[in-house]
Amino acid sequence: MKRSLARLISTFFYLGDFPFASGTLASAAAVLLVLGMPASILVYVAVTIAVTVIGIWAAGITEKEVGKKDPSCVVIDEVAGVLVSFFLVPLSWPVIIIGFFLFRAFDMFKIPPADSLENEGGGKGIVLDDIAAGVYTNLTLQAGIWLAAHIR
């Protein structure tokens, strides 16, 4: 039961089992989650923390079950990272699209210290590097939005 629940969560309802680009698919699904959330900072923070904490637990179990470090089927880390990416960001289609691609790039290229977070191992290592990618994305979006509003 515990392994089945962990698999369900870590693959974000089995999106991680998609045969290719499962991380991108999960990131897109996470954007839909962001768009569907109520306009409450408290709810957003609670969901982000819950996804992160439960995701670390589930990712660790699935990693052990699969027997491979950071298996591609584990995509709950992308969901947590996308939630961080769009925290307190005014959502418009240009911002969403740019944020989505920025997150995917930051996630793939593992700019320090994200690369060292991945070395933590287990569920923590799987999820925390994507949290860092989400922070990078959020800061980049916030800076871009500020610049767009102040430079004319």
CA–CA dist 144, 112 (Å, integer): 21
CA–CA dist 127, 77 (Å, integer): 4
Q: Tell me the per-residue pLDDT of 2-44, one tens digit each, with 9 for 90 and over.
A: 999 999 999 999 999 999 999 999 999 999 999 999 989 999 9
Instruction: Report the predicted TM-score, pTM, of the whole model to 2 decimal places.
Output: 0.96
Q: What is the pLDDT of residue 63?
A: 96
> At which residue do the structure tokens 């079950």 appear?
65
Contacts of 27 (CB under 8 A, 6+ apart): 78, 79, 81, 82, 100, 103, 104, 107
Q: With contact defined as beta carbons under 8 Å apart, do 99 and 86 qualify?
A: yes
Q: With contact defined as beta carbons under 8 Å apart, do 100 and 75 qualify?
A: no
Per-residue pLDDT of the chain (152 residues; tens, 9 = 90+): 899 999 999 999 999 999 999 999 999 999 999 999 998 999 999 999 999 999 999 999 999 999 999 999 999 999 999 999 999 999 999 999 999 999 999 999 988 888 888 778 899 999 999 999 999 999 999 999 999 999 97
95 alpha-carbon distance from chain centroid? 17
What SS3 state is found at 85? helix
CA–CA dist 68, 52 (Å, integer): 21
